[in-house]
Amino acid sequence: MGNDTAETHMTDVDIAIVGGGPAGLSAALALVRARRSVIVIDGGQPRNRFAPHMHGVLGHDGLPPAELLRLGRAEVEGYGGMFISGEATTASVGRDGIRVAVEGRAVRARRLLVATGLRDELPDIDGLREQWGRGVVVCPYCDGWERRNGVIGIVATSPQSVEQAQLLRQWSDRIVYFVNGVGDPDDEATRRLLARGIRIERRAIARIRTDRDDRLTGVELVGGSVVEVGAVFTGPTMHPRDELLLALGAATTEARGMRWVAVDADGRTSIPGVWAVGNVVDPRANVPVSLGAGALIAGAINAGLVDEDVAAALDPAREPQAGRSPGSSGGSLSVKEARSN
């Protein structure tokens, strides 16, 4: 595969994509169809792997998340896209391209796209983690419809959780806001919650209750009383999986009280040749947004490579080093040929 040699085990491609979730795979599909050689390095831990079904994804509403990725991966492979299973551990930018190390192998690419998603840190409540993605969820647009008109608990993770309670009120008029020691609403927020009939529960939470079939049934309070709810929504602390980008020295910006790697509208980071897309740089990127952003950014990456190919055609001394796609002036090596080398 690629330009492997016994000495280096190096694979040369146009674009290395780290992360094979919706954002990375969508970009990969656009790029392989643009006849670019692409390798996707993926650790196989997409954020929504805990959920049995995915909602709000046009044409795929209700599909298991893993099935979307299986379909996407098959599509990318169908055009010659390559995959490595495993975690990329380091990346470095040099004159001859960007190198990514993964599981004892190395990939050299003209461009690096990081689509590594984020990790959710859940509130530390007995039984909550076990229900994540089923009885305990985060996104009203993903799971609100299925919980409509039911009793919905909001387990606060900060005073901003009152906004999640107000949002969920759109799906049900039976909302219980659990302050959980960290989300005490101020006077104005209290007035707004009560105005919409949202109950405020200030007693401390002991655990999440489930029935014999492992379905969430309620929130048990310290002291033993139980508030029966059919679902819990909570706002985990998000940790972007941006270690590779930070190690490269990518500039960051502050948004929603957190630091994120800064990207422009086309997904460019401050590091030349390095791009990022999806939840790793955008907490609002649900599946459809990640798919769209991946496709958009793929177009911008390809446009930059075309510019570079033109410059190389005008001045052969500037021939691109890594990855030789059919459009580049460095010779015509199709993806299929690259795989069989």
Ligand X SMILES: Cc1cc2nc3c(=O)[nH]c(=O)nc-3n(C[C@H](O)[C@H](O)[C@H](O)COP(=O)(O)OP(=O)(O)OC[C@H]3O[C@@H](n4cnc5c(N)ncnc54)[C@H](O)[C@@H]3O)c2cc1C
Q: Which residues bind ligand X (CB under 6 A)?
A: 18-24, 41-48, 50-51, 54-57, 87-88, 115-117, 120, 133, 137-139, 142, 241, 278-279, 285-288, 290
Least distance (Å) between residue 14 CB and ligand X: 18
| CB closer to ligand X out of 241 and 324 | 241
DSSP string, 8-58: T-EEEEEEEEE--SHHHHHHHHHHHHTT--EEEEE-S--GGGG-S---S-T
Q: Which is nearer to ligand X, 136 or 179 (CB)?
A: 136
Place of tokens 């009885």: 135
Q: CA angle 104-245-13, nearest 5°? A: 50
Q: Do the Cβ atoms of 234 and 123 come closer than 8 Å?
A: yes
Q: Which two tokens stand for residue 165?
A: 């309670």
**Least distance (Å) between residue 118 CB and ligand X:** 7
Instruction: Say how many C-beta atoms besides its own lie within 10 A of residue 267's C-beta.
Output: 25
Residue type, 341: N
User: Please, what is the minimum distance in Å from the beta carbon of residue 157 to ligand X?
Assistant: 14
Residue 270 beta carbon to ligand X: minimum distance, rounded to whole angstroms? 19
- Residue (24 or 185) nearer to ligand X, CB: 24
> 62-68: long-range contacts at Cβ-Cβ below 8 A with a sequence spacing of 24 or more?
65/287, 68/22, 68/287
In the complex, least distance from residue 335 CB atom to ligand X, rounded to whole angstroms = 21
List CB contacts of 200: < 8 A, sequence separation 6 or more: 177, 179, 185, 190, 193, 194
In terms of CB distance, is 42 or 308 closer to ligand X? 42
Minimum distance, C-beta of residue 297 to ligand X, in the bound complex (Å): 11
Measured from the CB atom, the residue of 185 and 278 that comes closer to ligand X is 278
Phi, psi (rounded to 5 degrees) for 21? -85, -165
Nearer to ligand X, 87 or 309 (CB): 87
